[in-house]
Structure 1
Amino acid sequence: MHIGASGLNPSLTTSIQSTAEKIASGKAVNKASDNPAAIQILQQFNSQIQGESAAFRNVIDGISALQTAQGGLSQVTDSLQQLRELGIQAGNGTLNSSDRDTLQAQADQLIEGIKDSLNGSTFNDRSLLNNADDIQTQTGSEADQQQSLSSFDLLTEFEDVGLFNLDFSLDKINDTLTNIDKALDITQRVNSAFGAEQNRLGSTANTLSNSILNQSSSRSQIEDADYAELISLMTKQQLNRDVEIAMLGQANANRSQVLQLLKT
């Protein structure tokens, strides 16, 4: 180590500044010069964690969309069960025309309610009950990590099975009950699909959460500062600086003495 009379060793000053920066930031690596290899690894961790965090939010939104659709589907199923009950009542041959008109009016109201539920069950203006196109969701940090949320055009499917043209006349009750049962079969199929997709997304969310946690822990092991080690290092560096200052002071004093002797 060379110590000149002109000043302190610049490398020691730089080391002290670097150690102080690490203590202040709580990070062992603040810039590329601290540890070039570690910086590259940290950048990879950061990219992966950020990507998976965004994917995790996508998955949670997907689960919320499915839950919204299932809530609307539950309302539709309840209305279909009420329609079926009305249909069975309409099969009573002792009803007069006024009674049958009342049942028909109640059924028409339930059908309008079903349409409202299908049109109103949306998440962020997207519907899984009144939309024929599946929704793609990015569920990972890589380009090919996607899952589809199944969408169903239930208005069309219900129309196809005659749900919106129910006739509660006594001679039409068999057809009416058959059409309602077909609609109930549709809701069971759709509900099963939503349940399976929600389970799959739930599993994906758990996988992403564990991956983010593990990678964050690994990143911390590289990035986080060891305060005890840094404080010990700072103490040694400051001691070396004090020694340098003392030696520099002595060197300057000796130089002054030599100059004084030369003048005499």
Structure 2
Amino acid sequence: MALADGLHANVAALRQSAQNASSGVGLLQTADGALSQVTNLLNRAVTLATEAANGTLNSSQVSSANQEYQNILTEIGNIGSTTNFNGNSVFSATATNVFVSDGTASGATTFSETIGALTTASVGTSSAGAGVDFTAVGVATLSSGMAQNVLTSLTTAIQDVAYQRGTIGANINQLNAASNVASAESVNLTSAENNVRATNYGQATSDMAKFKVLSQTGIAALSQANPVQQDVLKLLQ
């Protein structure tokens, strides 16, 4: 019972750990989906900046391009502030710990998943840290004179978002692997627990047949012994 109950505790921890890892994957996939939309918006902004850099546009047309550009920056900020998972902000730049364990101290692992902030002042993350700041002078407004600067910043931002999504993808793979390992170990330990608790029907059937034969043999011996005793008593009389 001590062995079986210990295995059962391990199985309970592993099953929940697999669910923990799956929830972590859900968080990361939510972030990745939001960032894919950010990439789409940035690509549209690249088109606008390239268009505004062309000298054939008049001031009114450049102004219209800038209006859409401002809407794009606003929407990127909205995505960063409103995207959430289970009521928690996704782009919080704070670590989310995903706990995986088999119920023992030596079998516990904590995965720290950090998704960078997403605002108009920080779009994407790079190996050096924060993303591109579109509130900075020279890129906050799209004009014919600054269109090339904006275009350069947009290209950098797209690269930074791609880097961030690559990191998220790697973390998703890691958590999926942890979930799969926990699930497989849970199945194996459940089988081991059943081997301890469950009846060995092959052995039990064999023992039942053996004991049935022994019982019948004993009864037959007793039935033969009773007449002999009676004959002995008759001789004594």
Report the TM range for the smaller structure's normalisation. Answer: 0.7 to 0.9
1:162 to 111, 117, 133: 133
CA offsets 1:136-175 (integer angstroms, 9 cap, x no match)? 1102234541111122112142397332453221111122
Q: What corresponds to 2:200 in structure 1?
A: 226
Letter in 2 for 1:224: A
1:131 is aligned to 2:92: yes
User: 1:203 aligned to 2:180?
Assistant: no
User: Tell me, what secondary structure is at the counterpart of 2:188?
Assistant: helix
1:119-141: CA deviation from partner (whole Å, max 9, x where unpaired): 2322112233x212111110223
Choose the corresponding residue for 2:62, options 90, 100, 119: 100
Q: How big is each residue's C-alpha offset from its partner over 1:210-251, in whole Å with a ceiling of 9 and x where there is no partner? A: 211211121122222233544555677788899999xxxxxx
Q: CA deviation at 1:40?
A: 1.0
Letter in 2 for 1:151: I
After TM superposition, where is structure 1 displaced by more than 4 Å over at least 4 residues in a row? 231-245
The residue identity in structure 2 corresponding to 1:55 is S
RMSD: 3.2
Q: Does 1:186 align with 2:160?
A: yes
| Secondary structure, counterpart of 2:111 in structure 1 | strand
One-letter code aligned to 1:49: V
1:185, 1:126 → 2: CA distance? 27
Pairing partner for 1:122 from 55, 72, 84? 84
The answer to whether the 8 A contact 1:69-1:127 is kept is no
- Out of 101, 106, 112, which is 1:140 matched to? 101
Deviations, residues 71-92 of structure 1 (Å, cap 9, x unaligned): 0010011101111111001111
Q: What is the deviation of 1:179?
A: 2.1
Unmatched 5+ residue regions in structure 2? 124-129, 220-237
1:66 to 12, 16, 28: 28
Percentage of pairs with the same residue: 23
The amino acid across from 1:208 in the alignment is: A
Superposition deviation, residue 186 in structure 1: 2.1
Q: Which letter maps to 1:157?
A: S
Asked if the contact 1:55/1:140 (under 8 Å) is kept, the reply is yes
Alignment of 1:21-60 (within 5 A): 39-60=1-22
Instruction: Identify the residue that residue 212 of structure 1 maps to in structure 2.
Output: 186
After superposition, give the CA deviation of every residue in 1:37-88 in whole Å (9 maximum; x if it has no partner): xx11101111111111111100000011111110001001110111111100
Partners of 1:239 and 1:204 in 2: how far apart? Answer: 54
Please tell me whether the aligned partners of residues 127 and 151 of structure 1 are also in contact (alpha carbons under 8 angstroms): no
Alpha-carbon separation, structure 2, partners of 1:162 and 1:152: 14
Q: Secondary structure of 1:169's match?
A: coil
Cα distance in 2 between the residues matched to 1:134 and 1:77: 23
CA distance in 2, matches of 1:56, 1:205: 4
Residue 73 of structure 1 contacts residue 187 of structure 1 at CA under 8 Å; is this kept in 2? yes
Query: How many pairs are equivalent?
Result: 218
Q: TM-score, normalised by structure 1?
A: 0.70
